[in-house]
Structure 1
Amino acid sequence: MPDKLEQIGQQAIEHLSLKHAAREKALPKSRTVIRHCANSIRATHRHERERANELMAQAAQLLQEMKDDLLDHQDIYYAGFAQDAQKEYAEARCLAALTQYQELPDAEELGIGWAAYLNGLAEAAGELRRYLLDQLRRGNLRDCEAYLRQMDDIYSLLISVDFPDAITSGLRRTTDVTRGILEKTRGDLTTSVVQAQLQHSIQELYQALGQDGAINAPRVE
């Protein structure tokens, strides 16, 4: 029995040592992916598309390396940190596509899981609000309305995915947050459109006053 226990102990230690080494190798890559994606999103907001694409390409390479590192340790791969990195990558890629009116990539194209993809897509809608507000300050109402439609389409997709949180990694809560962001953005844009229409009407009134000298009052019979 002692000899058998010693053999079991050695096998367990060897197995867990390999698993620990794989985790320690992949974990820093996950953090780097998240950092690259955050910087890529920042570059997208600054309209630095080449820089954003470069960072996303680096993130994609690291995601593939993580997948290879943990190929024999799927329990570690699905422990959570790899999915967090995938979610951030999906957010960066989807935001870049949305702001450039490009076709959205899907999860299989990105090489990530669908739950991570959908959560990343939801967060991209939140970043799109920030992008929309920047365009709103510049007076680009037409672009803002297009971005709002994109946000609305994303929300419509998210509410159609009705599965337990254990399957979708908490997508229901993320969808609720997206709804709040969407309605707040709709209100902001509506207010700005009304103000723009009012300004236009005032300008037309001033032009009429300048041309005619006065506005003809309606006749009272």
Structure 2
Amino acid sequence: MPRKLEEIAEKIHHSFEICTSERDRALTQARTLTRHCANAIRAIHRDEQELARQHLGEARQLVQSLRENLKDLPELFYAGYTQDALKEFGEAALTYALIDNHDFPSPDDLNLEAATYLQGLAEAVGELRRRCLDMLLKDKPADAERLMGEMDDIYAILVTMDYPDAITGGLRRLTDVARGIIERTRGDLTLSLRQGRLENSLRELETHLDEYNQSE
């Protein structure tokens, strides 16, 4: 075997060993990041805001670490497991901002690529639906209507992002899913508000009947 080929093979081995080591570390960090994001969303829905902030803080540090560790390894940074974890962070951070009326973060604020940010925004619609239904169950229609408005605003932005999937990371499919979620939520909200108005009218009628009967 030519000596030069042996040297080339040795360099390739070394490169692959480094890449494999970084891949293993990135996989571990991506799993931990996803777990923190899931816990943050759970805390948001339970109104445990301090706990949500703690998980988001841990997640933010992992995002920074992934970017730094993989800055020279784009094949790992843009791998599915890394981008999925970053998308989960975008979803959690945006859900937190939308539900609790905090300052709305930009892609730069979250240290995310534009496409990943938009994917997280699209998936946040599902969490807004969940919160909207919770507000209806708690008899807070005004909060539910506010969330419905935010869902409409998100969709109005998403539909303008008419670019190839290779650029947006499959945003068109997520936008279609978001549209379905929004329409179902609108139907649920409309039905609930109508039912609430009907119940109020019936109570008023009962009150008037009681007053009428007492006057006779």
AA matched with 1:37: C
TM-score (norm 1): 0.94
- Unpaired runs of at least 5, structure 2: none
Q: Answer yes or no: is 1:60 the counterpart of 2:60.
A: yes
CA offset digits 1:1-58 (Å, max 9, x no partner)? 6111111111111111111111111110011000110011001000000001100100
The aligned amino acid for 2:149 is: R
**How far did 1:119 drift?**
0.8
- Equivalenced residue count is 214
Tell me by how many angstroms 1:82 deviates.
Answer: 1.8
Cα distance in structure 1, aligned partners of 2:90 and 2:76: 21
1:36 and 1:59 map into 2 onto residues whose CA distance is: 6
Question: Which residues in structure 2 correspond to 1:1-221 (within 5 Å)?
Answer: 2-213=2-213
Partner-residue secondary structure (3-state), 1:132: helix
Letter in 1 for 2:75: D
What is the letter of the counterpart of residue 200 of structure 1? N
Task: Tell me, in whole angstroms, the C-alpha distance in 1 between the residues paired with 2:26 and 2:68.
Answer: 9
Letter in 2 for 1:154: I
Moved more, 104-113 or 75-84: 75-84
TM-score calculated relative to the size of structure 2: 0.96
- Distance (whole Å) between structure 2 residues aligned to residue 41 and residue 180 of structure 1: 21
User: Which is higher, the Rg of structure 1 or of structure 2?
Assistant: 1
Q: Unpaired segments of 5 or more residues in structure 1?
A: 215-221
The alignment's C-alpha RMSD in Å is 1.2
SS, match of residue 47 in structure 2? coil
Identity of aligned residues (%): 46
Distance in 2, matches of 1:122 and 1:30, equals 20
Q: Structure 1 residue runs of 4+, over 3 Å off?
A: none
